[in-house]
């Protein structure tokens, strides 16, 4: 069985928790895209793990985890992160591998990222982790893959500064590299989870370009990044929050506005702890955007939606969702490519009664309040996709499977 877990919004949907939850029955977890710009949080017992590069399966002592081919890997960030999880009691030696075709993030790429950002007329709000510039070097055919640092001719082409930086990591990286396509062929009967990063609306092609990241967050990225072809994927999970958030700049049609929505943004941000895991930035918050979610379902062939942060609405009298966009006289419900259209669009809202009770401790779908079930059913009907997992809290056990 091979399943993909991807973000169906602008990232930060709770993928880390869901991958961790599903990883219990997996043998191998492969991160297929992005780099240290991601921030995946996992809470088990009293411990909170914050992962950026390392796949979320690492928390289980017996899982193999792999950084996939389409990732961009900063060795400095990787070994810092491994040290932090080691200090938290996770033993990772011998069970974390990296595709030898993945690209390296070098210190100068991070400088390029921040200096290009500062010269932009309208900044993107990049995390400054060198992601965009590393993918740009890769597309220009100037990038350096992990395999290249063990290739005498390719290595000789590097600058003295690059070699000095890499010397500190070369021998530590050597035993971690693998040929992912061969590895996957050898493990074709294993249960594998492909872990996405960022989200569909930050995908380089499907997202709100240019206000996107540079990797392929979409389900299709799981193939190239994960060393398999599209026919090998059995199930696609799309994770989304009961509302929407976005970090960094770019259009966000259902974003809360003070004049229209009062202090909803502050309430959601504080209740849902909506601060970036990687940068600590407060996230922009808004209504659940159903046209955008339906677009993500269609673009990724999502089989099963995973609804997270439902408990954030526990105290609400009324819950509103965006069901279409309005621009002037025109009402439309497709997710358009035009940034200008998205920026000028106003959300068309539909209201639902809140459930006004705590969802904490609920483990069965049937035990959810009727108002919560109504909200869930409406989303399923709108998107044409069933919601198979519902998260009502941060911990692994705060999860309902239908
Ligand atoms: P970059 O990928 O760091 O260059 O950032 C590009 C855009 O994607 C910025 O708006 C970031 O805030 C956003 N972004 C990148 N990674 C994540 C993530 O893991 N979660 C949410 N937003 C992200």
Predicted confidence (pLDDT) per residue in 96-140, tens digit: 999 999 999 999 999 999 999 999 999 999 999 999 999 999 999
Which of 13, 109, 127, 250, when mutated, tests ligand 1's pocket best, judged by the most ligand atoms within 8 Å of its CB? 127
277 and 264 inside one domain:
yes
Ligand 1 centroid vs 280 CA: distance in angstroms?
Answer: 12
Ligand 1 centroid vs 203 CA: distance in angstroms?
Answer: 10
Number of domains forming the structure of the chain? 2
Nearest CA to ligand 1 atom 8: 213
- Measured from the Cα of 126, ligand 1's closest atom is 5
Known catalytic residue at 309:
no
Q: How confident is the model at residue 44 (pLDDT cuts 50, 70, 90)?
A: confident
Res 381: pLDDT: 98
Q: How far apart are CA 200 and CA 382, in angstroms?
A: 18
Nearest CA to ligand 1 atom 21: 11
Q: Which of 155-169, 184-198, 225-239, 270-284 has the lowest mean pLDDT?
A: 270-284
Q: How confident is the model at residue 45 (pLDDT cuts 50, 70, 90)?
A: confident
pLDDT exceeds 90 at position 40: no
Give the domain-ending residue among 215, 238, 261: 238
Q: How far apart are CA 364 and CA 361, in angstroms?
A: 9
208 and 80 inside one domain:
yes
Known catalytic residue at 12:
yes
Res 60: pLDDT: 94
- Measured from the Cα of 279, ligand 1's closest atom is 12
Res 280: pLDDT: 87
336 and 313 inside one domain:
yes
Q: How far apart are CA 225 and CA 227, in angstroms?
A: 6
Nearest CA to ligand 1 atom 10: 248
Ligand 1 centroid vs 359 CA: distance in angstroms?
Answer: 30
- Name the nearest CA neighbour of 223 among 260, 181, 188, 189: 181
Looking up residue 143, the CATH number of its domain turns out to be 3.40.440.10
Res 364: pLDDT: 97
Q: How confident is the model at residue 181 (pLDDT cuts 50, 70, 90)?
A: very high
Q: Looking at residues 133-161, what average pLDDT do you find?
A: 96
Give the CA distances from residue 350 to residues 175, 371, 375, 379, 394, in Å, rounded to whole numbers and listed in that order. 55, 14, 11, 12, 28
86 and 191 inside one domain:
yes
Ligand 1 centroid vs 329 CA: distance in angstroms?
Answer: 33
388, 380 contact by CB (below 8 A): no
95 and 123 inside one domain:
yes
214 and 346 inside one domain:
no
Q: How far apart are CA 347 and CA 350, in angstroms?
A: 10
Q: Looking at residues 190-200, what average pLDDT do you find?
A: 97
Nearest CA to ligand 1 atom 4: 126
Residue 284 Cβ contacting ligand 1 at under 6 Å: no
143 and 244 inside one domain:
no
Res 383: pLDDT: 98
- The string of DSSP letters for 87-112 reads HTT---TTSEEEETTSEEPPHHHHHH
353, 323 contact by CB (below 8 A): no
- Measured from the Cα of 12, ligand 1's closest atom is 20
Ligand 1 centroid vs 246 CA: distance in angstroms?
Answer: 9
How many other C-beta atoms are found inside a 10 Å radius of the C-beta of residue 220?
Answer: 20
Res 239: pLDDT: 98
Res 231: pLDDT: 96
269 and 199 inside one domain:
no
Q: What is the model's pTM?
A: 0.96
How many other C-beta atoms are found inside a 10 Å radius of the C-beta of residue 176?
Answer: 20
176 and 320 inside one domain:
no
Res 275: pLDDT: 94
Q: Which of 65-79, 100-114, 273-287, 305-319 has the lowest mean pLDDT?
A: 273-287
Percent of the chain surpassing pLDDT 90: 96
Looking up residue 275, the CATH number of its domain turns out to be 3.90.170.10
Give the domain-ending residue among 238, 258, 278: 238
pLDDT exceeds 90 at position 277: no
The residue from 40, 52, 103, 309 that is catalytic is 40
Give the domain-ending residue among 192, 212, 238: 238
64 and 170 inside one domain:
yes
Res 278: pLDDT: 80
Q: How far apart are CA 4 and CA 315, in angstroms?
A: 33
Q: Domain residues for 191?
A: 2-238
Nearest CA to ligand 1 atom 1: 126
Res 187: pLDDT: 97
Q: What angle do CA 44, 45, 50 make, to 5 degrees?
A: 40
Ligand 1 centroid vs 259 CA: distance in angstroms?
Answer: 28
Q: Which of 40-44, 186-190, 222-226, 311-315 has the lowest mean pLDDT?
A: 40-44
Q: What angle do CA 323, 324, 326 make, to 5 degrees?
A: 140
Res 317: pLDDT: 96
Residue 126 Cβ contacting ligand 1 at under 6 Å: yes
Nearest CA to ligand 1 atom 19: 38
Res 274: pLDDT: 95
258 and 230 inside one domain:
no
Which of 138, 198, 221, 282, when mutated, tests ligand 1's pocket best, judged by the most ligand atoms within 8 Å of its CB? 198
Please state, rounded to an integer, the average pLDDT across all residues of the chain. Answer: 96
175 and 272 inside one domain:
no
């Amino acid at each position: 069985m091979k399943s993909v877990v991807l973000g169906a919004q602008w990232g930060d949907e709770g993928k880390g928790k869901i991958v961790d939850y599903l990883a219990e029955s997996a043998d191998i977890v492969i991160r297929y895209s992005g780099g240290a710009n991601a921030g995946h949080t996992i809470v088990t017992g009293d411990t909170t793990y914050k992962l950026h590069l390392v796949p979320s399966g690492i928390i289980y002592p017996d899982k193999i985890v792999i950084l996939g081919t389409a990732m961009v890997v900063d060795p400095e960030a990787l070994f810092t992160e491994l040290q932090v999880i080691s200090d938290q009691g996770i033993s990772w030696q011998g069970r974390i591998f990296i595709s030898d075709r993945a690209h390296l993030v070098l210190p100068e790429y991070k400088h390029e990222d921040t200096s290009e950002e500062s010269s932009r007329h309208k900044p993107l709000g990049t995390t400054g982790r060198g992601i965009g510039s590393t993918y740009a070097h890769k597309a220009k055919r100037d990038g350096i893959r992990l395999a290249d640092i063990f290739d005498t001719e390719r290595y000789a082409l590097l600058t003295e500064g690059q070699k000095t930086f890499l010397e500190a990591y070369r021998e530590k990286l050597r035993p971690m590299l693998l040929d992912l396509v061969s590895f996957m062929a050898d493990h074709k009967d294993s249960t594998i989870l492909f872990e996405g990063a960022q989200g569909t609306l930050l995908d380089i092609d499907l997202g709100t370009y240019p206000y996107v990241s540079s990797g392929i967050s979409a389900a299709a990225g799981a193939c190239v990044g994960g060393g398999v072809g599209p026919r090998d994927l059995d199930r696609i999970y799309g994770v989304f929050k009961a509302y929407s958030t976005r970090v960094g700049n770019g259009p966000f049609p259902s974003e809360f506005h003070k004049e229209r929505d009062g202090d909803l943004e502050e309430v959601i941000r504080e209740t849902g702890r909506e601060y970036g895991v990687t940068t600590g930035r407060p996230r922009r918050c808004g209504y659940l955007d159903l046209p955008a979610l339906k677009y993500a379902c269609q673009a990724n062939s999502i089989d099963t939606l995973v609804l997270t942060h439902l408990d954030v609405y526990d105290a609400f009298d009324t819950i509103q969702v965006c069901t279409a966009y309005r621009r002037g006289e025109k009402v439309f419900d497709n997710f358009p490519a035009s940034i200008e259209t998205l920026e000028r669009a106003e959300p068309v809202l539909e209201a639902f009664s809140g459930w006004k009770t705590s969802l904490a401790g609920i483990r069965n779908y049937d035990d959810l309040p009727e108002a919560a079930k109504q909200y869930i059913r409406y989303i399923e009907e709108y998107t044409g996709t069933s919601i198979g997992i519902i998260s009502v809290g941060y911990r692994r056990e705060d999860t309902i499977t239908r």
